[in-house]
Amino acid sequence: MARYIFITGGVVSSLGKGLASAALGALLQARGFSVRLRKLDPYLNVDPGTMSPFEHGEVFVTDDGAETDLDLGHYERFTGVPARMTDSVSSGRIYSNVLEKERRGDYLGKTIQVVPHVTNEIKEFLAIGEDEVDFMLCEIGGTVGDIEGLPFFEAIRQFSHDQPRGQCIFMHLTLLPYLAASGELKTKPTQHSVKELQSIGIAPDILVCRSEHPIPEKEREKIALFCNVRKEAVIAAYDLKSIYEAPLAYHREGLDQAVLDAFQISPAPRPDLTVWKDVADRIYNTDGEVNIAIVGKYVQLEDAYKSIREALTHGGMANRVKVNVKWVDAEVFDTQDPARHLDGFHAILVPGGFGERGTEGKIKAAQFARERKIPYLGICLGMQLAVIEAARNVAGIATAGSEEFDHEAGAKRFEPVIYHLKEWVQGNAKVKRKVTDDKGGTMRLGAYDATLKVGSRVAEIYGTTSIEERHRHRYEVDTKYREKLEECGLHFSGMSPDGRLPEIVEWADHPWFIGVQFHPELKSKPFAPHPLFDDFVRAAVETSRLV
């Protein structure tokens, strides 16, 4: 049976709990333990798939097709353990399950209440797969005191009470603000946060305190005394230059040892941190730098492209270069020349997105990269817009566009080289969709196989002709335009196994121009960079040497 670590938060930064959870998982792995990380979110959306990136940042997609919180991306990047649908749940999902059971009559007509029905549903979620790993790390989203999170806190309190003694511990993250005027760290917010936890029946075993300045020994003793934890269990979490320092930094502060002490695991295996030392070395000992532009529509909130940013960092680590990313708002190209904003970059990346806003600017970015022979990586919508650009400016289809834009406008304006995907094969079953279907969870989601063309650039990059990548889209390139586009030099170098759905396109006469329908960034890790991002950064390095 797994040991449970419940991770809660007071006033912490947006990366506080997710990063601490991921780093702790990596440290426990380094000691030879198996781990799984889970996220319990208090928001009422059934899943993040229907939420605007401005609301919740990136939607992370798992192999089995779940649309989840971006923190699961951190979990995968730090532990290498593929996340599953059962690793993320929201209040909306919990309440939806409870109401479905009530409608079916599972509760035999009883009055439905938060306790026990909602809390029992949460506890059933927590217990999934508990015999598979040594440690289950469960992060509770939001902040202690949020009304939306109260059922989750009550559920984990009950869950720890139901388990054998010593099977569950609580880790609480707080902020130690620094007052420059008086030159002191304030511990009162931490004390009040812990008091709030204790008032609902949860006593933290470990405190992780975010701080910009060193925590004096006197302050540690004060926190330990008033929060009723051991002084060795007050862990400092200082700001880092790179998040990939976190496992080493938390180990230096004794987080993994504090966890083992709380579970009374002694003696414990010593950690092998070789991988993380190599990661840190590749970050800080580089042989140069490259400048890459990300042309997107959600650039005001960088978390909307979190996995892409991290995958570029991984590609830089693989090539021992620093990747300088510049976020470029695609809408500026509606009125301004792309050259003004894209000159001097060694590569251009156009990510996914939804809706017509900003798409003409992205098309101009793809045209700029094609004509100037600058390395280009188009992901999902970025691939579709590269196809539209080729159709308009090379194949002579002046009105080429996407059905998505016509559906949004309610009028037919384009020749749809991109169409709404109505059916596809998933495993041994055929999936069918209509434009009028609900938006949430109805896309082509999760891992699908693709077959690469022998001798193509992507086959060379992957080192194989059979790959599996994660998807999240409902529009697809129409293969009836394939012959005309390939005659112009845009090769369809990756297809679904049945040959019906284009997965990858590449320009034959371009140094490095690739568009992919899937999301390769979701599988990249600091110790195992994705092949496409590795080679994309390599191509950027080559371009930098020519400039």
As annotated, the active-site residues are 380, 519, 521
Structure tokens at 143: 């902040």
Token match 């939607």: residue? 59
Go through 494-524 and write b for each residue having 16 or more CB atoms within 10 A of its CB, e for each that does not.
Answer: bbbeeeebbbbbbbeebebbbbbbbbbbbbb
- CB atoms inside a 10 Å sphere around CB 249: 20
Parallel, antiparallel, or unpaired: how do β-strands 168-175 and 3-9 relate? Answer: parallel
What strands lie across the sheet with 3-9, from one edge to the other?
A: 88-90, 35-41, 135-140, 3-9, 168-175, 206-211, 234-238
Q: Rounded to an integer, what distance in angstroms lies between the CA atom of residue 534 and that of residue 547?
A: 20
- The single-letter DSSP state of residue 11 is S
The size of the chain, in residues, is 547
In terms of Cβ atoms closer than 10 Å to its own Cβ (0-12, 13-18, 19+), residue 301 is middle
Q: Are strands 289-296 and 347-350 parallel, antiparallel or unpaired?
A: parallel
Cα–Cα distance, 160 to 48 (Å, whole number): 28
Q: Which helix (H) or strand (E) holds 127?
A: helix 119-127
Measure CA 478 to chain center: 29
Structure tokens at 227: 């929060």
Report the distance separating Cα 159 and Cα 423, nearest Å. Answer: 42
CA 296 to chain CA centroid, nearest Å: 17
Cis status, amide bond into 338, omega within 30 of 0? no
| Rounded CA separation 388/365 (Å) | 12
428 contacts: CB under 8 Å, gap ≥ 6: none
